[in-house]
Amino acid sequence: MFKKILIANRGEIACRVIKTARKMGILTVAVYSEADRDALHVEMADEAVCIGPAPSKESYLAMDKIIAACQQTGAEAVHPGYGFLSENEAFSRRLEEEGIVFIGPKHYSVAAMGDKIASKKLALEARVNVIPGYNEAIDTPDQAVKIARDIGYPVMIKASAGGGGKGLRVAFNDQEAHEGFSSCKTEAKNAFGDDRVFIEKFVEEPRHIEIQLIGDAHGNCIYLHERECSLQRRHQKVIEEAPSPFIDPATRQAMGEQAVALAKAVNYQSAGTVEFVVGKDKSFYFLEMNTRLQVEHPVTEFITGLDLVELMIRVAAGEKLPFTQADIKLDGWAMECRINAEDPFRGFLPSTGRLIKFHPPAAHSTGPLAAVRVDTGVYEGGEISMFYDSMIAKLIVHGATRAAAIARMRDALNAFVIRGVASNISFQAALLQNPRFVSGNFNTGLIAEEYPHGFNAAAVPHDDPAMLISVAAAMHRQYLARNALISGQMPGHEYKPGANFVVRLEDGTDHAVTVSAATDGAPGWDVEFAGERYEIRSPWQFGQALYQGTFCRLPGSPKSGSAPLWGAANECERGGPMVGEHFCMQVERSGLKYRLFHWGTQADLLVMTARAAHLQSLMPHKAPPDMSKFLLSPMPGLLTQIAVTPGQEVKAGEVLARIEAMKMENVLKAERDCVVNELLAKAGESLAVDQPIIGFR
């Protein structure tokens, strides 16, 4: 076994590998760019080596620097994680030539299967089902359009070295094929250093299901069941689960056996994933093979009880797999949510900055099958950089059934606190309530179909407004009670908090409420409004981001709205014990406003006296400044191109500028015909969100 390994990666996956290496008694070496000097993986490793500036090309993609770091530290092997050089055949071969073990497949397997064009040819030879397409590299946009026409729209344009949704476009017509080809080549060149692009038929209403496998140097190769990865936004996975709610045992076995046959055809020795597109009739076609560890590998670890990183290390050290196909179990259900630094209320644009608060949910148990697991490479006070991908953490849960896993994930998302940058937690919570997802009857088009105009708070109406009103009113009353304790008050003129308030919802409706201290002596408050009474019992203290406790409707009080989605209805019953429904929501206070986050709903409520509510309703609305004559940066990022000049007439739909953020290229186009007045930024400049780029006449 190795004594020391180097992790040629950063962030969450570097921390993940370090944890397993530490468990195995192996020393670790981290590499880092100048932007990652204070990163968590640098702190966790036994040693750390700086390998260059922030851009990936000058650091994490620089083979010479990584090999030099191995030689400098005496690392015997390299774990590449995922992304960067993990599927680079030249890197694997060079390590082998230097006498350093690559913790992954042999270079010839990477070359054969890491290249999507070559892998499809090999799949055909191995009698694996393959989707129709043009499997040679394409040189020009015009050639791409001609090939797309021959195959028949819609088509999928893919970078041969792509992954993670980068270098991938779906085209439904000639214009989209022309533009998509150019964007794919640019993204692939920047992200992978390989701009080859090919085209294949896009299967409509598809499911994306992948088979995890592991092979050793002794001729053994075993599949570890499937993962359902169909819930995607713009071809990037959002929620993954294992097993799939769609696959039956016979289909699972057929897909697994084809995946193993393909792996054995190239003498595959490590963890790898064979991805399939599956039709509604359960017909399946090979898409590609990822010759590396997948982002979503923890869900497979949950249902099998295996540590895939440990298996990769042991296989690389020459050990034989300690189990057979018959030994692989399928225990319960696992789900993973990718928590990304992106703003779902601004079209999922990247969000960068400092993590002012970062409180992941606590695990519900310990051991290899802990109910809740958080894999991350960040910490409170750390920086989310624009130079790398947007992932903050992976939230993984395990349950005995799919319903149990969904319920546990909902609880975990409620308790996941992130402040300082925007995150997609509210969007994840909304998806977990979507009837199509809950039923298991969905495909890769679910998000585009359910949220055609994007995601907003109104898309997730809360099913129990009484809870939101009660919590906001109770918080406000608790703040006032604290004010009454201020020392030095004039005798006879002490501050006495009132009990009657008005809660104004975002739709402008007002609700008169009365709040009083809990009658049973427990920490909490009793709230009355609309002729009903509610008890909130919570030990919440000022400054805490999570408001946890019980919410109880007194005997005879009907619910407002349908039954809640957060577990069993444990209401107070007439004549029965006063046991409330447990809840956990995130709360923020700003002046009179209380922002509540619960089950994907983000609600802003104002709590005031009746007089203040009347005066506030008389306040004139201040219109925002007119910025219609400016092109504003929709996100923080690097301005890579300005495609217009002062005085130029621009037609609607023409490209104005390109911004690169978190390894994705974003093209900004004119919304209407206009004339350029002045350029307010230069190519190569780092932009802040809403920073003016171009002014128009």
Per-residue pLDDT tens for 134-145?
878 898 999 999
Residue 25 lies in a domain: yes
* Mean pLDDT of the 286-309 span: 95
CATH label of the domain that carries residue 52: 3.40.50.20
Buried b / exposed e over 426-462, threshold 16 CB at 10 Å, is: bbbbbbbbbeebbeeebbbebbeebbeeebebebbeb
Q: Which residues are bridge partners to 215 per DSSP?
A: 221
How many helices and strands (H and E) does the chain possess? Answer: 17, 39
Q: How confident is the model at residue 427 (pLDDT cuts 50, 70, 90)?
A: very high
Residues 81 and 183 in one domain: no
- Out of 433, 460, 487, pick the residue that ends a domain: 460
Annotated active-site residue 275? The verdict is no
Query: What gap in Å lies between CA 671 and CA 651, rounded to an integer?
Result: 8
Q: What is the residue-averaged pLDDT of the chain?
A: 89
Residue 440 lies in a domain: yes
Q: Is the pLDDT of residue 460 over 50?
A: yes
Residue 539 lies in a domain: yes
Q: Which residues are bridge partners to 274 per DSSP?
A: 211, 289
Amino acid 577: pLDDT: 36
Amino acid 663: pLDDT: 67
Residue 596 contacts residue 471 (beta carbons within 8 Å): yes
Residues 251 and 345 in one domain: no
Query: What gap in Å lies between CA 548 and CA 527, rounded to an integer?
Result: 17
Three-state DSSP string of 317-368: CCCCCCCCHHHCCCCCEEEEEEEECEEHHHCCEECCEECCEEECCCCCCCCC
Question: What is the tally of structural domains in the chain?
Answer: 6
Angle, in degrees to the nearest 10, between helices 308-316 and 11-23: 70
Q: Is the pLDDT of residue 36 over 90?
A: yes
Per-residue pLDDT tens for 260-272?
999 999 999 999 9
Query: What gap in Å lies between CA 573 and CA 373, rounded to an integer?
Result: 36
Sign of CA dihedral 378, 381, 382, 383: positive
Residues 470 and 554 in one domain: yes
* Mean pLDDT of the 377-389 span: 90
Residues 314 and 284 in one domain: yes
Query: Six-digit token pair at 293?
Result: 């560890």
Specify the DSSP class assigned to residue 489. P
* Mean pLDDT of the 551-562 span: 60
Residues 265 and 124 in one domain: yes
Query: What gap in Å lies between CA 520 and CA 518, rounded to an integer?
Result: 6
Residue 457 contacts residue 601 (beta carbons within 8 Å): yes
Q: Is the pLDDT of residue 398 over 60?
A: yes
CATH label of the domain that carries residue 586: 3.30.700.30
Residues 36 and 96 in one domain: yes
Residues 473 and 561 in one domain: yes
* Mean pLDDT of the 620-643 span: 89
Domain holding 238, by residue range, is 106-131+207-331
* Mean pLDDT of the 642-660 span: 93
Q: Which residues are bridge partners to 231 per DSSP?
A: 239
Residue 513 contacts residue 529 (beta carbons within 8 Å): yes
Residues 385 and 529 in one domain: no
Residue 531 lies in a domain: yes
Q: Which is higher by pLDDT, 105 or 117?
A: 105
Residues 195 and 144 in one domain: yes
Q: Report the range of poorest mean pLDDT among 9-18, 45-54, 629-638.
A: 629-638
Three-state DSSP string of 59-122: CCCCHHHHHHHHHHHCCCEEECCCCCCCCCHHHHHHHHHCCCEECCCCHHHHHHHHCHHHHHHH
Query: What gap in Å lies between CA 140 and CA 147, rounded to an integer?
Result: 11
- Out of 202, 223, 253, pick the residue that ends a domain: 202
* Mean pLDDT of the 644-671 span: 89
- Report how far apart, in Å, the C-alpha atoms of 150 and of each of 144, 145, 157, 277, 691 are: 10, 9, 14, 21, 44
Residue 624 lies in a domain: no
Query: Six-digit token pair at 657?
Result: 């500028």
Q: Report the range of poorest mean pLDDT among 82-91, 304-313, 461-470, 657-666.
A: 657-666
Q: Which is higher by pLDDT, 568 or 515?
A: 515
- Out of 415, 443, 460, pick the residue that ends a domain: 460
Residue 540 lies in a domain: yes
CATH label of the domain that carries residue 687: 2.40.50.100
Q: Is the pLDDT of residue 557 over 70?
A: no
Query: What gap in Å lies between CA 284 and CA 401, rounded to an integer?
Result: 25
Query: What gap in Å lies between CA 306 and CA 387, rounded to an integer?
Result: 33
Q: Is the pLDDT of residue 227 over 60?
A: yes
Tell how strand 655-661 and strand 664-669 pair up: antiparallel
Amino acid 363: pLDDT: 60
* Mean pLDDT of the 390-395 span: 94
Q: Is the pLDDT of residue 459 over 70?
A: no
CATH label of the domain that carries residue 197: 3.30.1490.20
Sign of CA dihedral 281, 282, 285, 290: positive
The CA angle 210-213-215, to the nearest 5 degrees, is: 155
Sign of CA dihedral 524, 530, 531, 532: negative
Q: How confident is the model at residue 473 (pLDDT cuts 50, 70, 90)?
A: very high
Query: Six-digit token pair at 650?
Result: 């621009």
* Mean pLDDT of the 382-396 span: 91
Residue 433 lies in a domain: yes
Residues 99 and 112 in one domain: no
Q: Is the pLDDT of residue 453 over 90?
A: no
Residues 282 and 392 in one domain: no
Residue 623 lies in a domain: no
Of 87, 288, 528, 571, the active-site residue reads 288
Query: Six-digit token pair at 692?
Result: 């003016």
Tell how strand 372-376 and strand 77-79 pair up: unpaired
CATH label of the domain that carries residue 399: 3.30.470.20
Q: How confident is the model at residue 370 (pLDDT cuts 50, 70, 90)?
A: low
Residue 53 contacts residue 387 (beta carbons within 8 Å): no
Query: What gap in Å lies between CA 364 and CA 72, rounded to an integer?
Result: 42
Amino acid 555: pLDDT: 62
Computed on alpha carbons and rounded to an integer, the radius of gyration of the chain in Å comes to: 28
* Mean pLDDT of the 530-536 span: 91
Residues 659 and 539 in one domain: no
Percent of the chain with pLDDT over 90: 67
Q: How confident is the model at residue 15 (pLDDT cuts 50, 70, 90)?
A: very high
Q: Which is higher by pLDDT, 166 or 62?
A: 62
Q: Which residues are bridge partners to 586 per DSSP?
A: 546, 597
* Mean pLDDT of the 225-243 span: 94
Per-residue pLDDT tens for 174-201?
999 999 999 898 888 887 888 888 898 8
Query: What gap in Å lies between CA 562 and CA 461, rounded to an integer?
Result: 12
Query: What gap in Å lies between CA 435 and CA 124, rounded to an integer?
Result: 38
Q: Is the pLDDT of residue 391 over 70?
A: yes
Q: How confident is the model at residue 439 (pLDDT cuts 50, 70, 90)?
A: very high
